[in-house]
Amino acid sequence: MLLPVHYCDRPVATILADADDVRLSYDANWLTAPDRFPISLTMPLGDAHYDAATILPWLMNLLPEGEPLRAMTRALGVSVEDVLGLIMEIGSDLAGALSIGSAEQQGSPAYRVIPDAAALERIITDLPARPFLVGEDGVSMSLAGAQDKLPVALRGDRLAIPVNGAPSTHILKPDNRRLPDSVQNEALCMVLARRIGLPTAPVTTGRAGERSYLLVTRYDREIGEYDARRIHQEDFCQALGRVPAAKYELNRTGRHGPSVADMFALLRQHMTARDITRLLDAVIFNIAIGNVDSHAKNYSILLPAEGPSLAPLYDLMSGLAWDGITQNHAQAIGGQRRGRHIYGRHWQRMAGACGLAAKATVRRVGDVTKRLLRELPAATEEVANMPAGSGFMLGTFSHAIEERIREVQLHAQQEGDDDQSGDASAAIGDSAY
């Protein structure tokens, strides 16, 4: 099997698979191009050939997980284990800048406008059985994650489906029937992050009949008036060579997933002090809002020709107000996974493991939480005024987040009692949401 890797219409690399191995090699012209960038930090530009142990984990992280992956394989008639076969089918529009698979399309890249709200509601309703509209003529796209979502493009004020390799510009995330008002929850967390100065993907909400949805502007697209340009990126699982199942620090793979310290070490190797401060603020933010699902695939790295940098935040959600959600965070802070039991000594331990100044880290917790408390009322009002409205739980989410922010702020100034153990009954390595 031969899988070409393209950026726009330009060859970047070739993946060759046979009975013995999988190998990737860069195209010679790409290696001398002025705008060249690496496929991954695990695959630096050069003449080296990369093998299956490097390539396959990176490709697996481009695919959905859980039930969306199983539904996709059923619709395509491809085995879950056939990573290359799946990528061949859905690799035209992926996270990042690359298209993988056949360069030949059935037609020119185009957009199929969704005619009305009723049609959009039908698409949303069908997503669990047909993730990413697999099997529809000309549609070939994928996103990672275990939740239903759909890459779309905004054409004027109307949503459209990209076909024949056209780039999507937005991600549509439908309401989650298991988690009431999930759209308002995620919108609130995203808006709050932006309002305190964290680079964050812009969002709004919408309605389609009885369904609501979050519409996220893709940060890995440069969107013009008439077209869109892809920008390359990878998540921290890809950058650290881990499979998706290892995205949680504690998981079922037999190998610890990326820790906060692992992520800071990667930044120190490849990025700037500004990125390190941004990551610290993001980690504090996720603890303060109770985003227990902030694992390594929910942080990403931009990989343009100028060099890597931390990507804007995305997939932010608070698990505080719903019943049945584990309160163990995906990554421990100084050995503690329970947000309400994280004290000053835990932040100091984390700082030591990450090469940060302990006292300055604790002060940063105070600074971030102060900004959060100041901006939370305005963020709540902003979401209430979005097209999908406030739902039934927006006020509940806001109140729960405020309580946790105050708790994190107070505890950062205290040493605390003996460590409280995490919830042993909570599933390890499963999506919190």
How far apart CA 191 and CA 203 sit, in angstroms, is 7
Which residue do the tokens 């490849």 mark? 270
How crowded is residue 118: how many other Cβ atoms within 10 Å of its Cβ?
11
Query: Crossing angle, helix 344-354 and helix 358-384, to 10 degrees?
Result: 110
> Which secondary structure element, helix H or strand E, spans residue 269, and what is its range?
helix 260-270
| CA pair distance 67, 80, nearest whole angstrom | 11
- Asked about 35 being catalytic, the answer comes back as no
CB contact at 8 A, 356 and 263: no
129 token code pair: 């059985």
Catalytic residue among 220, 262, 293, 315: 293
Q: What angle do CA 84, 90, 95 make, to 5 degrees?
A: 95
Closest CA to 379 of 366, 365, 392, 398: 398
Question: Quick check: 411 and 344 in contact, CB under 8 A?
Answer: yes
Give the angle subtended at the CA of 37 by the CAs of 331 and 172, to the nearest 5°.
Answer: 55
Half-sphere exposure of 430 (CA within 13 A, CB side): 10
Q: Are 217 and 203 in contact (CB under 8 A)?
A: yes
Q: Of 59, 216, 221, which Cα lies nearest the Cα of 149?
A: 216
Q: How far apart are CA 119 and CA 195, in angstroms?
A: 34
Handedness of CA 39, 43, 46, 52 (dihedral sign): negative
Active site residues: 293
